[in-house]
Chain A
Amino acid sequence: MATILVIAEHDDGQLKLATLSAVAFAKRVIAEAGGTFDILVIGDGVDLVAEALRSYGAASVLAAERPELKSPLADKHAHVIAEAARQRGSTLIVGAASTFSKDILPRGAALLDAGMLSDVVDVTCDGDDFVFRRILFAGNAIATVKLEGAVKFLTVRAAAFAPPPKGAELSRVEKLTVDAGSLPDFIVCEGREAKVAGRPDSTEARVVVSGGRAIKNAEDFERLIGGLADALGGAVGSSRALVDAGITPNSLQIGQTGKIVAPEVYFAIGMSGAIQHLAGMKDTKVIVAINKDPDAPIFEVADFGLVGDAYQVVPELIERLRN
Chain B
Amino acid sequence: MKILVPLKRVPDPDTKIRIKPDGPGIELDGVKFAVNPFDAIALEEALRIEEKLGEMEVVVVSIGGEECVEQLRVGLAMGADRALLVKTSESLDSLAVAKVLAAVYRREKPDFVLMGKQAIDDDSNQAGQMLAAMLGVGQATFVSKLELIENNTKARCGRETDAGIETITVRLPAVLTTDLRLNEPRYVSLPGIMKAKKKPLEEMTPADLGVAATSRTKIFKLESPPKRKAGVRVKTVDELVDKLKNEAKVI
Contact = CB atoms under 8 A, between A and B. Distances in A.
B178 to A, nearest CB: 11
B216 A259 contact: no
A31 interface: no
Interface stretch (A62-70, A142-150, A211-219): A142-150
Contact of A257 (B174, B179, B222): B179
A232 B245 CA distance: 12
Contacts of B93: 115
A306 B161 CA distance: 33
Interface stretch (B70-78, B80-88, B139-147, B194-202): B139-147
Contacts of B225: 135, 139-142, 282
Main secondary structure of the interface of B (DSSP, over half): mixed
Interface in A98-125: 98-100, 102-111, 113-119
B67 interface: no
B204 interface: no
Contact of B121 (A103, A137, A282): A137
Contacts of B132: 74, 107, 110
B163 interface: yes
Contacts of A302: 230-231
A186 B138 contact: yes
Contacts of B2: none
Interface stretch (A22-30, A37-45, A284-292): A284-292
A56 B86 CA distance: 47
A194 B163 CA distance: 9
Contacts of A189: 166-168
B163 A145 contact: no
Given A116-B95, A137-B26, A304-B234, A188 B168 contact: yes
Contact of B17 (A113, A140, A243, A305): A140
Contacts of B180: 240, 244, 257
Nearest to B177: A103
Contact of A306 (B121, B168, B221, B240): B240
Contacts of A78: 129, 133
Interface in B114-148: 117-118, 120-134, 136-142, 144
Contacts of A118: 123-126
A200 B228 CA distance: 27
Given A141-B222, A143-B24, A304 B126 contact: no
Interface string A155-171: 00000000000000000
Contacts of B140: 187
A68 to B, nearest CB: 14
B220 A145 contact: yes
B40 to A, nearest CB: 14
Interface in A64-110: 73-75, 78, 98-100, 102-110
A190 interface: yes
B238 A186 contact: no
B169 A188 contact: yes
B164 A192 contact: yes
B190 interface: no
Given A144-B221, A186-B174, A282-B228, A106 B137 contact: no
A186 B144 CA distance: 19
A105 to B, nearest CB: 8
A191 B169 CA distance: 10
30 contacts: A74-B129, A78-B129, A98-B162, A99-B141, A103-B141, A106-B129, A109-B95, A114-B95, A117-B217, A118-B124, A137-B11, A137-B123, A138-B13, A143-B221, A143-B223, A145-B217, A186-B171, A187-B170, A188-B170, A190-B156, A192-B161, A240-B180, A244-B180, A251-B161, A256-B123, A264-B250, A265-B251, A302-B231, A305-B233, A321-B241
CB-based closest 9 A-B pairs: A186-B138, A303-B231, A193-B164, A110-B133, A115-B216, A106-B129, A110-B130, A106-B126, A144-B221
Interface of A: 11, 73-75, 78, 98-100, 102-111, 113-119, 135-149, 184, 186-196, 201, 203, 207, 232, 240, 243-244, 249-251, 256-257, 259, 264-265, 275-276, 282, 285-288, 299-307, 313, 316-317, 320-321
